[in-house]
Amino acid sequence: MGILNITPDSFYDGGRLNELDAVLRQAESMLTAGAVLLDIGGASSRPGADAVPESKELQRILPVVEAIARRFPEAFISIDTWRAEVAVAALGAGAVLVNDISAGKLDLALYPAVAQADCPYVLMHMQGTPETMQTAPEYDDVVQEVLDFFIEETDKLRALGIKDIVLDPGFGFGKSVRHNYQLLQNLEVFSSTLDLPVLAGLSRKSMICKVLHVNPDRALNGTTALHMVALQRGANILRVHDVREAVEVIQLWQQL
């Protein structure tokens, strides 16, 4: 899953894709390198990010979804949003999957909208909100608490008729560095317990930068190392900024 952030303030690539031509070039590059999914987001969810008005989010993402769907009909487009109206509009424009950081908590209309659309849904765990999530996150047992969360929320989704669910433990979303590595080490618990695919969003995140004492621009090597660990622990989808490098990791892992 290649990341296309149409935002000025994302932690790594904010502001790089403000022009539609640049987005299309990046989309083509990712697809050529082997991306299967393109995840388009119009509101930054980095720690401390302020909420973007719905109208601005729609203004950012709709032309991009429409253009990519038209130019690259073979691409599977994911919309990264927690808003029901944005999800519905993006699905109408060509997206096929909803990737929600909030598990329906920030917009109670989202679960019903996904059920109505009958589309795949990425269920992510987050403690708090993007504004507050990294303010002293605390768990008694982070793996068990995230698993309990997945069990509870998948029951809700299935009750609404949503069956095509992907689990995302939410690395960096309301977790300390230690919490993140505990989740990574036990990633297979989620897929084996719930028999659902798992998405790992590790690319250039602070759990790498803080350990290696680098900024996101220098976190590719650490990202590559953790991608191999994630695959060995049962990850089915890698959400990445650097598609070619991630594809190479997958190719090597497949030889094991």
Catalytic residues: 205, 239
Burial 135-165 (b: 16+ CB within 10 A, else e): eebebeebbeebbebbeebbeebeeeebeeb
Lookup: tokens for 165: 């669910």
Largest CA distance in the chain: 48
Could you give the strand order of the β-sheet that contains 121-124, starting from the edge strand earlier in sequence? Answer: 2-5, 37-41, 76-80, 97-100, 121-124, 165-168
Lookup: tokens for 179: 């919490």
Angle, helices 142-159 vs 177-185, to 10°: value is 70
Rounded to 10 degrees, what is the CA torsion of 146, 1, 206, 61? -100
Cβ pair 190, 150 in contact under 8 A: yes
Angle (CA) 35 167 121, round 5°: 70
Cα distances (angstroms) measured from residue 80 to each of 71, 144, 156, 219: 20, 26, 20, 23
Cβ pair 175, 137 in contact under 8 A: yes
